[in-house]
Chain A
Amino acid sequence: MQFTIGQAEFLDTLSAVSNIVPTRTPLPIIGNLMLVADNDALQVSATDLDLSVTMNVAASVDKAGTVTLPAKKLTDMIRALPASPVRVKGKNEHITIECESSHFKVHGLPADDFPSFPELNFDAGLTVTAGTVEKLAAHTRFAASTEDTRPILNGVLWELENEKMQMVATNGHRLARYILPASNGSSGTSQSVIVAPKALAQVGRIFAPDDELKVAMDERQIGFKGDRGVVFSRLIEGPYPNYEQVIPVDNDKLARADKERLMAALRRMAVMASDQTHRVRLSIDEDTMRFHVSTPDVGEASDEIPCTYEGDPIDIGFNANYLLEVLRYVDTDEVEITFKAPERAAILRPTGDDQDTYLCLVMPLRLQE
């Protein structure tokens, strides 16, 4: 095969794809990228067996062909080259790469050994923009669990209904849900799947926000296909916990505060909070939100910000980091927090028109005397 491509385009493509390549793998071929040159286009593919990605990029192809090359070596090599056309040529596993005066010879592995990608029927899939997927995912995937103990919570629940679609993620201590009206062409039946956060991140990495995507799925796989490429991911199996049941409906205490001031105060408290629990105490009454941290052997801190508040005064403990993470994704200047009791979930939402799109739950930390 033989093709020529600009160094910058080549590097962008390699970087976007190669980040899913595992650093250590028992299967050497998994450490490689597959390059397919044909019809004035180059396809670069990578897989970690759960997640597979192909990205298309324009190239001047003189001779069609397929090869696999070590992902890290190839990416490092192209990154080190000057911003000039890069010529790749060779036969079977012996590849030469040239750019200006630089000359490399690399050894690949047989392309036949590269794992095949799933087959999904994209014609039957629904249509959605990459920006919609990214918006849903960005507001929720941070809340997913990173522990191995409950694999189901490592995923993001994506629910597709006639009029709306929503994503939900939780680690059992906090939960984020984002709802958007469904774009045109939704498939008509309601479906729900549990997607790995890294698959959603990869969609955001490969596609531009305006790209139209076809989304197809079966029991085990989900695929996102657009002009720039395709992302396949194995779905996480199993029933997702009944999250609707834990969203409080009777939170009768309501506080509104400036988001930036709240975050700044929490960041200050977090410095003195325990490394293990990150516990901060919030005491809210009439028009003040007070913060207090007391950590044995470390010290104490307190602060306060103004707020509006309706309801009986409350004293409640939280993991400061959970609150900070949630607040980062609240898009309005003001945030609304509702409470019921010190051992019940608090709800955080944006204020204004977007109120119903985004909802976060944070379970408190028990306060001890």
Chain B
Amino acid sequence: MPDPRSILHVDLDAFYVAVERLRDPSLVGKPVVVGADPRGGRGRGVVAAASYEARAFGIHSAMPIGEAYRRCPGGVYVAGHRDLYARAARAVRRVFVEFTPAVEPVSIDEAYLDLTGTERLHGPPAQTAERIRSAILEQTRLPVSMGLGTTKTIAKIASDLAKPEGLLHVLPGREAVFLAPLPLRCLPGVGPATRERLVKYNLKTVGDLARLDQAVLTGALGEHGSHFLARATGGGGTRVASREHPKSVSRECTFDIDTTDLEFCEAMLFYLSERVCHDLRAQRLTARTVTLKLRHHDFTTLARSITLSSPTDSDRTVAKAARELFRVACGPRPNIRLLGVGVSNLVMAAPQLELFASPRARAWDRLMDPIDRLRKRYGTGVVRSGPTLTLRDRDPAE
């Protein structure tokens, strides 16, 4: 048996709310809901995040904003500042990589860190975890919850139980004992439907599940049964993938109101292409295939792709391809609900320079690096390209 691994799951507590409270300290202690404008209970969007105070009213993320408003009309509703969140998340990630190169971000506010083998450098993993917490607190003033265990599942369950601002360390060999009394819903992947099926078998805790014969569990849950059994007995993945190689990069935008304005659509395609290419460049990738996604007002959705002669990370090249696809695909009287631009067929960026590149294209190339850096620091809106200026009044939501 190889030595057990030390995997840390770090979860930023009520991340969006915490960032909003740093921006506006008057929000501290109040029920705060980040999300769409509730418009007195008639808003269209959903809750992006809710503070612990708001959660006490039964509000949770992804709940329709109108419903949240009905539950807590006295709450503070905040529109959200994506650029701020992204910046905070980056600062947190910078702390992570000071401690281990193996960091697998799960979402903007969650990551797995593999601390195995860092003992000689940083000391025992539990101590390292606390040092990570202090470093995050010091550099971002954001609170985190952490779980430390031998698998990703254990670490994740532990950090959920450690909320808010705790650290729960499950010692190697104690996984089954730790899991046994926990209710089934603590096990990642066990949603309401699975739980309902298991309750029929009179299974209530993870321990109940662990004691079952695999054949019985497979009978109850189908082929996923063995998967759950492994997790319930303390097994599960340990591989912390520091950087998954993406297969594609895409951005899309659903409009508040369906649009027939083709000029607006093309401006939006340019904007989406810019975002996609910015992501590509940030990951040092280039793409050969450009895909346009188009959804009409009646929800008929189509995707059209074109493969370029050479891989690109140029906004203008991707936007041009997307625009050409759009002009063919949009049909005679379009009424469009959603537009998306995606790229795939990704290769590592070492772009082959073009012999016949126009001086103009070369000039654009040289310009992109400073623009990317400005946008990284101050947000996308700090530099706007001509074709997207018409979008200013209808600020695109992603």
CB-CB nearest in chain A for B309: A149
Some 16 contacts from A to B, beta carbons below 8 A apart, are: A172-B310, A173-B354, A173-B355, A246-B355, A274-B347, A274-B350, A276-B347, A296-B348, A317-B350, A343-B353, A361-B355, A363-B352, A363-B355, A364-B353, A366-B353, A367-B350
Q: A172-B356, A274-B347, A368-B349 are in contact. List 16 more A-B contacts (CB 8 A).
A: A147-B309, A172-B309, A173-B354, A173-B355, A175-B355, A246-B355, A246-B356, A276-B347, A277-B352, A317-B350, A343-B353, A345-B355, A363-B353, A363-B354, A366-B350, A368-B350
A319 CB within 8 Å of chain B: yes
Taking a contact as CB atoms under 8 Å apart, the answer to whether B355 and A174 are in contact is yes
The 3 A-B pairs of least Cβ separation, nearest first, read A149-B309, A276-B347, A277-B350
Taking a contact as CB atoms under 8 Å apart, the answer to whether B354 and A368 are in contact is no
B43 CB within 8 Å of chain A: no
Point out which of B348, B351, B355, B356 has the most chain A C-beta atoms below 10 A from its C-beta.
B355
A365 CB within 8 Å of chain B: yes
B:258-312 near A, CB below 8 Å: 284, 308-310
CA distance A25 to B80 in the complex (A): 61
CA distance A147 to B352 in the complex (A): 15
CB-CB nearest in chain A for B366: A343
From B308, B309, B351, B355, A365 is in contact (CB under 8 Å) with B351
A105 CB within 8 Å of chain B: no
A150 CB within 8 Å of chain B: yes
CB-CB nearest in chain B for A149: B309
* Residues of chain A contacted by B356 (CB below 8 angstroms): 172, 241, 246
Task: State whether A279 and B355 are in contact (beta carbons under 8 Å apart), knowing that A147-B309, A149-B308, A150-B309 are contacts in the complex.
Answer: no
* Residues of chain B contacted by A149 (CB below 8 angstroms): 308-309
CB-CB nearest in chain B for A318: B352
A4 CB within 8 Å of chain B: no
* Residues of chain B contacted by A174 (CB below 8 angstroms): 355
Specify the main secondary structure of chain B where it touches its partner.
loop
| CB of A143, distance to nearest CB on chain B (Å) | 11
CA distance A343 to B353 in the complex (A): 7
| CB of B354, distance to nearest CB on chain A (Å) | 6
From B284, B347, B349, B354, A172 is in contact (CB under 8 Å) with B354
* Residues of chain B contacted by A150 (CB below 8 angstroms): 309
Task: State whether A365 and B353 are in contact (beta carbons under 8 Å apart), knowing that A147-B309, A149-B309, A150-B309 are contacts in the complex.
Answer: yes
CA distance A319 to B347 in the complex (A): 14
Task: State whether A170 and B355 are in contact (beta carbons under 8 Å apart), knowing that A149-B308, A150-B309 are contacts in the complex.
Answer: yes
* Residues of chain B contacted by A145 (CB below 8 angstroms): 309
* Residues of chain B contacted by A365 (CB below 8 angstroms): 350-353
| CB of A294, distance to nearest CB on chain B (Å) | 11
| CB of A70, distance to nearest CB on chain B (Å) | 36
Point out which of B347, B348, B352, B354 has the most chain A C-beta atoms below 10 A from its C-beta.
B352
Taking a contact as CB atoms under 8 Å apart, the answer to whether A277 and B309 are in contact is no
B:302-356 near A, CB below 8 Å: 308-310, 347-356
Task: State whether A368 and B353 are in contact (beta carbons under 8 Å apart), knowing that A149-B308, A274-B348, A276-B347 are contacts in the complex.
Answer: no
* Residues of chain A contacted by B352 (CB below 8 angstroms): 173, 277, 319, 363, 365
From B284, B309, B347, A368 is in contact (CB under 8 Å) with B284
CB-CB nearest in chain B for A368: B284
CA distance A175 to B353 in the complex (A): 13
CB-CB nearest in chain A for B284: A368
| CB of A330, distance to nearest CB on chain B (Å) | 19
* Residues of chain A contacted by B284 (CB below 8 angstroms): 368
Task: Flag B210-253 by CB within 8 Å of A: 1 or 0 each.
Answer: 00000000000000000000000000000000000000000000
Taking a contact as CB atoms under 8 Å apart, the answer to whether B351 and A366 are in contact is yes
CA distance A59 to B355 in the complex (A): 52
Task: State whether A172 and B348 are in contact (beta carbons under 8 Å apart), knowing that A149-B309, A368-B284 are contacts in the complex.
Answer: no
* Residues of chain A contacted by B353 (CB below 8 angstroms): 173, 343, 363-366
| CB of B359, distance to nearest CB on chain A (Å) | 11
* Residues of chain B contacted by A319 (CB below 8 angstroms): 352
CB-CB nearest in chain A for B351: A366
Taking a contact as CB atoms under 8 Å apart, the answer to whether A276 and B355 are in contact is no
CA distance A345 to B309 in the complex (A): 20
Taking a contact as CB atoms under 8 Å apart, the answer to whether A277 and B355 are in contact is no
* Residues of chain B contacted by A317 (CB below 8 angstroms): 350
Task: Flag A342-369 by CB within 8 Å of B: 1 or 0 each.
Answer: 0101000000000000000101111110
CA distance A179 to B245 in the complex (A): 47
From B308, B348, B354, A276 is in contact (CB under 8 Å) with B348
